[in-house]
Amino acid sequence: MFQSCFSCPVCKSPLFYDERTVSCKNGHSFDRAKSGYVNLLQSNRKHAAIPGDNKEMVAARRAFLSAGYYAPLQQAVAEEVKKYAAFDGATILDVGCGEGYYTKAIAEAASNANIAGIDISKSALSVAAKHVKSVQFAVGSVFHLPVADNTCDLVTELFAPYCGEEFARVLKPGGVFLSVIPGARHLFGLKTLLYDTPYENAVKPFSLPGFTFLGEREIHQTITIQNQTDLWNLFSMTPYAYRTKREAQQKLLSCTSLTTEISFWILAYRVIKGA
């Protein structure tokens, strides 16, 4: 039996792992899936029967990321994690960790840290838990993290919903928050193919209430997607998959390669804890 990074969603006591379950001292017990993640999402916090990315979306994402197109971002995230939380006993929380592509790099960059990943999607976590054994994964909501106050040295959030109050709550005093957001021209080549008048992404000012801005890092490259499968997988993992008309999707299907910019910002913040 050993203590997890998580707290009980019912009574907020620390949760302990044993072979099959995760439980607190007050007898609240949560099953672990065969792959190893634990479900800490209470049914009253669920807004859909199957929240988050479904199996097909997770598989598309995993296939696309495994092909290495976003490796420059993965590498840069690992470097930033090293800068802030590579010390012994650090606790790192990856919020909205998905199928674990970046979580794996975080775990390798901070191999002496305790690392937890939270996502709303069971399908994503079942893939993540299979591939990244050194990380504790839990199904949970970004807006009600099953994590105690003042326990994390670093919170990372890549393209996940933002909840500043929750991130600040779980961070220790002096703790760091790393956020990754798409840049203005991210996937502009894909948008040009799909839309008559493609727009650049709006990038908000970097400052966040409750945090001191430490600095930014831009990752900007031009990549060529080399085959139809990778291209379709990329499309499936973007928000465009929901809002693109069939005729535009047909254009995509007749395309065998695509050159596009990819662009990301990694933003670093230190939490300001109330006096």
Least Å distance between CB 15 and Zn ion? 8
> Taking CB positions, which residue lies at the least distance from Zn ion?
8
Under the criterion CB under 5 A, does residue 107 sit at the interface with Zn ion?
A: no
> What part of residues 2-41 is at the interface with Zn ion (CB under 5 A)?
8, 10-11, 13, 24, 26, 28
Least Å distance between CB 16 and Zn ion? 11
Cβ closer to Zn ion: 26 or 75? Answer: 26
Cβ closer to Zn ion: 12 or 217? Answer: 12
Least Å distance between CB 22 and Zn ion? 10
Least Å distance between CB 19 and Zn ion? 19
Q: Which residue's entry shows tokens 């961070």?
A: 171
Cβ closer to Zn ion: 25 or 243? Answer: 25
Least Å distance between CB 30 and Zn ion? 9
Q: What are phi and psi of 256, to 5 degrees?
A: -105, -15
Q: 156 by DSSP, 3-state: which?
A: strand
| Count of residues that interact with Zn ion, criterion CB under 5 A | 7
Cβ closer to Zn ion: 27 or 239? Answer: 27
Under the criterion CB under 5 A, does residue 147 sit at the interface with Zn ion?
A: no
Under the criterion CB under 5 A, does residue 135 sit at the interface with Zn ion?
A: no
Distance CA 228, CA 253 (A): 7
178: how many CB neighbours lie within 10 A of its CB?
24
Cβ closer to Zn ion: 28 or 172? Answer: 28
Least Å distance between CB 26 and Zn ion? 4
Longest dimension (CA), the chain: 59
Sign of CA dihedral 196, 255, 264, 117: positive
Cβ closer to Zn ion: 8 or 90? Answer: 8
Residues forming contacts to Zn ion in the complex (CB under 5 A) are 8, 10-11, 13, 24, 26, 28
